[in-house]
Amino acid sequence: MIIGILATGITPDELIDQHGSYAEMLMRLFDHAQHQFDYELFDVRDGIFPQDAVQCDGWIITGSKFNVDDNYDWIIKLKQLIVEIDAVGNPIVGICFGHQIIAEAFGGRAKAFEGGWGVGLHRYNIVGAPRFIADASESFTISAMHRYQVTEKPENASVFATSDFCEYAGLIYGNNILTLQAHPEFNLQYEEALVNMRKGITIPEDTADAALATLYQDGAATDSVAVAHWLADFLTRKPV
């Protein structure tokens, strides 16, 4: 199976040598979870897009430093591509910016959240019984790094993950689109380095300190491998 990664952002220069790009983090996570895919990478920020919606069997849209309301040409074109992929029924996974731009493509809205930044480890409650979650999980914990979030859910989306901080943390669109606000591809070391790098600059110091506390507490861990299984099962349409 060929997964097309639509790269909307990249790791900061100071961290990329050690941790790799967002696309590489996703590939590494799937490998760690023992899901073997072939990948094609499209840096859509530079106008590098697939020829059409069926060039790959499934798609992942990464996180980004950009905001979905920036309205650059590549953002407008990406929204159009999302609609085209949905029309042919191929699966899409959206992470952070990907989560937000998919919502915007279908008439929802994402904007800077009045509650401020979501950073550190966040726990999300699972709503209902999503078909792609084969285990008995009722919640999951992964790293968050966002100021924007979906504030108006599209009519064609249903919620599968939520928290007090992020109402629309996980959305499903029919049988072929799944999106997450937080980052299953981030490990604790990367999240710590990123929070420390942005502390007092883009992230208020008290918010950063609270986030770092979640990373330093005893037993701090993510459920990223479990989430990787869910995403892979969704992308491959594995029956559960």
The DSSP string of 61-126 is E---SS-TTS--HHHHHHHHHHHHHHHHT--EEEETHHHHHHHHHTT-EEEE-TT--EEEEEEEEE
Q: Active site includes 166?
A: no
Annotated active-site residue in 104, 185, 191, 192: 185
Task: Check if 104 is active-site.
Answer: no
As a whole number of angstroms, the distance between CA 234 and CA 93 comes to: 8
Q: Which of 19, 99, 183, 229 is catalytic?
A: 183
* Residue 149 Ramachandran class (φ > 0 left, ψ -120 to 50 alpha, else beta): beta
Element spanning 144, H or E: strand 139-146
Is 185 a residue of the active site?
Answer: yes
Determine which one of 19, 96, 166, 229 is catalytic: 96
Amino acid at 14: E
Residues classed as catalytic: 96, 183, 185
